[in-house]
Amino acid sequence: MNFLAAPARLSTANATFEAEFKARLHWSAEADTAIEKTVADILADVQQRGDAAVLEYTNRFDGLSAASLAELELTQAELKAAFDTIPAAQRDALQAAAARVRSYHEAQKKASGESWSYRDADGTLLGQKVTPLDRVGIYVPGGKAAYPSSVLMNAIPAHVAGVAEIIMVVPTPRGEKNALVLAAAYVAGVTRAYTIGGAQAVAALAYGTATIPNVHKITGPGNAYVAAAKRRVFGTVGIDMIAGPSEILVLADGTTPPDWVAMDLFSQAEHDELAQSILLCPDAGYIAQVQASIDRLLNEMPRAEIIAKSLSGRGALIHTRSMEEACEISNRIAPEHLEVSSTDPHRWEPLLKHAGAIFLGAYTSESLGDYCAGPNHVLPTSGTARFSSPLGVYDFQKRSSIIEVSRAGAQLLGPIAAELAYGEGLQAHARAAEMRLNPK
């Protein structure tokens, strides 16, 4: 079968650009009332009946016939056995990737995740103590999108943060276990793992059951049921984010081999028909070359059908007036992945305000970042890079403010606090401050 990928061809010089651009970008995670109702029921049921409910839903939805939840635990021996049975090249790749991801996140912790404090002139100590979460849950999708790399990207930052217990859940539809996922859990040092998924797994992690310990935060992507469940348990536990379809935006100055750019666009498109791949370039001739590369390379790809649907349905090749304008448009999109495919990427990088990850230069294919460069591949999607960040060590830490007011400091601060407290009608606050003034 021959597939055709026809991304929209837009030009910022056209009067119709704004409308076409907006239409192409539009994506909305419509809240599905039926899913919401189902998820609310599952959460309530698991909260009430615990293990029994999780077992029933798992057997029903994943086609299993387990007799107890304990049967669904993956032992450490089983994780190690999976690691031992995969090909040596895969073992080496997993370990090399894990080492680089660990090293990057250690640098991240050092740069922005350490406790700090100072004393001000009147001897008052101020600061923040940074501590790890005690126990976290990692949701790993099963079925068609089972990504061992995601196990590393979720578990390693938690480890680096100092989280003592990492509980992994991964559904195994019809009992099929993915050896590479299990091996990744072994490499990443997951504490306990269960073959459960869906809203029932989120509920088990959030509320705890007799078998599954409750956690304090749940990270990791999942389908619409998992997303709805995470949104509902938010507050009882922390969650990372609600992920939408994956996106790549390539800003090209026309100097990168067009085949490379075409393949980078494919690598996003192959995830999912809803994934979005966009090229922004001021050189119309280059855009035509990339389209020619797309046409030539597409049918070599095993996932050509998904790629073609994604590129034709949501992709775009946008001709801009300049690289500066391309940067502006990129900021409007706030893409998850942003490649600056240019011989002079550091010229453009300062103009880029919103993106999950910025890949600089022709050699930095997104795929290198996805697996092993070191930075996290769990990134904000659907424009949420305007207000959120890649998954990181900071997601597995929390902060406590530290305040130690000296006797001298209390004399200085007391009247200020009392004035404002009286202004707010909170007299006990005021009196508490005043009692510390000139004590015997």
Restricting to residues 207-236, which ones interact with a second copy according to CB under 8 A?
216-217, 231, 234-235
Instruction: Indicate which single residue of 263, 280, 317, 333 sits in contact with a second copy (rule: CB under 8 A).
Output: 263
Count of C-beta atoms within a 10 Å radius of residue 123: 12
Residue 141 binds a second copy (CB under 8 A): no
Q: What residue type is 394 in one-letter code? A: Y
Measured from the CB atom, the residue of 116 and 321 that comes closer to a second copy is 116
Phi/psi of residue 365, nearest 5 degrees: -70, 150
Question: Helix H segments across 298-406?
Answer: 304-314, 323-333, 345-348, 366-371
Pick out residues in 275-294 that bind a second copy (CB under 8 A): none
Largest Cα–Cα separation, the chain:
91
Cβ partners under 8 Å of residue 92, min gap 6: none
Site for a second copy in 144-163 (CB under 8 A): 146-149
Instruction: Give the interface segment with a second copy, choosing from 59-67, 196-204, 260-268, 316-324 (CB under 8 A).
Output: 260-268
Q: Which stretch binds a second copy (CB under 8 A): 5-13, 68-76, 196-204, 404-412?
A: 404-412
Decide if residue 247 touches a second copy (CB under 8 A). Answer: no
CB of 437 to a second copy, least distance (A): 10
Beta pairing, strands 116-119 & 125-132: antiparallel
Give least dist CB 68 to a second copy, A. 27
CA distances for 245 relative to 174, 374, 379, 430, angstroms: 26, 22, 11, 51
Binding mask 343-372 for a second copy (x = CB under 8 A): --x---x--xxxxxxxxxxxxxxxxxxxxx
State the amino acid at position 369 in one-letter form. G
Give the amino acid at 292.
A
- Rounded CA separation 288/298 (Å): 15
- Bridge partners (DSSP) listed for residue 323: none
Nearer CB in complex with a second copy: 325/349: 349
Site for a second copy contains 254 (CB under 8 A): no
Stretch that binds a second copy, among 62-70, 205-213, 263-271, 282-290 (CB under 8 A): 263-271
114 is known as an active-site residue:
no
- Asked about 105 being catalytic, the answer comes back as no
Q: Report the candidate in 217, 173, 188 with the shortest Cα–Cα distance to residue 82.
A: 188
Residue 402 makes contact with a second copy by CB under 8 A: yes
CA distance 276 to 25: 9
- Cα–Cα dist 330/250, whole Å: 9
Looking at residues 368 to 397 of the shown chain, list those that interact with a second copy (rule: CB under 8 A): 368-376, 379-380, 384-390, 392, 394
Give me the catalytic one of 247, 270, 336, 366: 336
Residue 214 token pair: 């409750």
> Scanning residues 32 to 71, which ones bind a second copy (CB under 8 A)?
none
Sign of the C-alpha dihedral, residues 224, 226, 228, 230?
A: negative
84 is in an annotated binding site: no
The answer to whether 115 is a known ligand-binding residue is no
Residues numbered 113-132 forming contacts with a second copy, rule: CB under 8 A: 113-114, 116, 118, 120, 124-131
Closer of 70 and 402 to a second copy (Cβ): 402
DSSP-based three-state secondary structure for 10: strand
Residue from 185, 242, 317, 329 touching a second copy (CB under 8 A): that is 242
- In eight-state DSSP terms, residue 227 is H
DSSP codes, 159-191 = HHHT-SEEEEE---GGG---HHHHHHHHHHT-S
243 or 316: whose CB is closer to a second copy? 243
Q: Which is nearer to a second copy, 75 or 103 (CB)?
A: 103
Q: 45 among the known binding-site residues?
A: no
Binding residues, as ranges, are 139, 200, 223, 246, 268, 271, 337, 370, 424, 429
Positions marked active-site: 336-337
Binding residues for substrate, as ranges, are 246, 268, 271, 337, 370, 424, 429
